[in-house]
Structure 1
Amino acid sequence: MRQLFFCLMLMVSITAHASDAQRLKQAAFPAQAGELILKNQAVLTYLWADVYAAALYAPAALSARHAWDQQAALRLTLYYFRDIDRNDVIKAATATLERQQANARLKPELDKLHASFRDIRSGDRYALDFHPGRGLELEINGQVVFISRDDELARAYLGIWLAPGGLSDELRGRLLK
């Protein structure tokens, strides 16, 4: 009986891993975004449903973790597999930022950022592009819809995925490995 259990668990694990590989292929993240290089990619699954694939880009000379730690240029791209109401996205982001104790001074800029969100449809791409001194840009399907020159806002918002206590420790670990 124990052997059957382990065989079933192995099959589920292999199937899930194959599914991630298929999902990442579907997301088709390019190897490069401007001067940044694709470092890592992963799929966020919630309650057995794949929500999105995430790709993290950083300078070629730095690992993803070092780029995050050194506040170097980063690009986080999300490819969505599901339709999601914009209010649900804003609610999750707000709860995560509160849990991470983001600076209250950022609220007006966060409100502007969130105002640029729209309902997500399967196949949409959102990208957060950060360059020190230039701040943060949000792209939706390749179109820049928000710009802030506030590096602290960029750090806080990228922290939703990359800082401790974010949306998913497993996703964070995969992106920063």
Structure 2
Amino acid sequence: MSIYPLRVFYPLRALPLVMSMLVTPFAYTEASTEKSISEKGETFPRNLEAYDQRFELLGSGVFTYMIWTAYAGAYYQAEGEIEPQPLGDVPRLLELAYFHNIEAGDFAEATTKTLEKSLTLYEFNQVEQEIETINQRYQDVAPGDRYRLSWDGDTLRLALNGEVIYEGGDSETASAMFGIWLGKKPLSEDFRDALLGKE
């Protein structure tokens, strides 16, 4: 998902998005009694239910490209799974709230280019067909819209403002998609660490 007119934000087409990124992270503290957290005005619950599963927040942050605040994000794992496993098989969920207009084609291009850089050729070939399907399902977003990427242990889903626009995939596709933000070569290590609650 990547994910990522205000075309000024979209040197995404050339994907320098993978570099020079600054983040204002949020460090999740278990001691807090607040039911939600706020990132630049966007609120994320600490616990949520989706697809017949309960999820707990691990961390959140704001993704900033150069001088533009791109989106706020929050990462969740299945209730009780407090050890970060973004590329494992644990049910997990990533929600991104956007601050700018982004066209569907920019999401698709950014997703493909990011995965080509972060995966080996063999790994990319294994998921390429499913990634192409996801790329075809992206829709334009406006400020306030939210994409939600989730894996329940069997099915990968991409939803826009609560409406599922993609459903399918396998664990390899799920790891590839979550890896865009949470993998060993993410868009931003600082943003990844904030989402994993390491900041």
If the length of structure 1 is used for normalisation, what is the TM-score?
A: 0.81
Amino acid corresponding to residue 57 of structure 2 in structure 1: L
Residue 33 (structure 1) aligned to one of 48, 57, 76: 48
Rg larger in structure: 1
Residue of structure 2 in register with 1:126 after alignment:
147
| 1:150 counterpart = 2:165 | no
| 1:159 counterpart = 2:179 | yes
The CA deviation at 1:135 is 2.1
Residue of structure 2 in register with 1:111 after alignment:
132
Amino acid corresponding to residue 52 of structure 1 in structure 2: Y
Residue 73 (structure 1) aligned to one of 91, 99, 104: 91
| Structure with more of its chain in helix, by fraction | 1
* More moved, 95-104 vs 43-52: 95-104
Q: Helix, strand or coil: the match of 2:41? A: helix
Q: Helix, strand or coil: the match of 2:186? A: coil
| 1:82 counterpart = 2:103 | no
Amino acid corresponding to residue 106 of structure 2 in structure 1: D
Residue of structure 1 in register with 2:67 after alignment:
48
The percentage of aligned residue pairs carrying the same residue is 31
The CA deviation at 1:31 is 2.0
Q: 2:130, 2:169 within 8 Å by CA — same for their partners in 1? A: no
Q: Helix, strand or coil: the match of 1:42? A: strand
The higher relative CO (CA closer than 8 Å, separation ≥ 6) is in 2
Amino acid corresponding to residue 73 of structure 1 in structure 2: P
Q: 1:40, 1:174 within 8 Å by CA — same for their partners in 2? A: yes
Change (3 A) 1:135 1:85: same
Aligned residues: 157
Runs of at least 5 residues in structure 1 that lack an aligned partner in the other structure: 1-15
If the length of structure 2 is used for normalisation, what is the TM-score?
A: 0.72
2:83 & 2:149 partners in 1: Cα distance? 15
2:64 & 2:127 partners in 1: Cα distance? 29
Deviation string for 1:97-126 (max 9, x for gaps)? 011124312111111111110111111100
Change (3 A) 1:164 1:69: same
Residue of structure 2 in register with 1:93 after alignment:
111
Runs of at least 5 residues in structure 2 that lack an aligned partner in the other structure: 1-22, 25-36
Q: CA RMSD in A?
A: 2.1
Amino acid corresponding to residue 108 of structure 1 in structure 2: Q
| Structure with more of its chain in strand, by fraction | 2
Q: 1:55, 1:78 within 8 Å by CA — same for their partners in 2? A: yes
Amino acid corresponding to residue 148 of structure 1 in structure 2: G
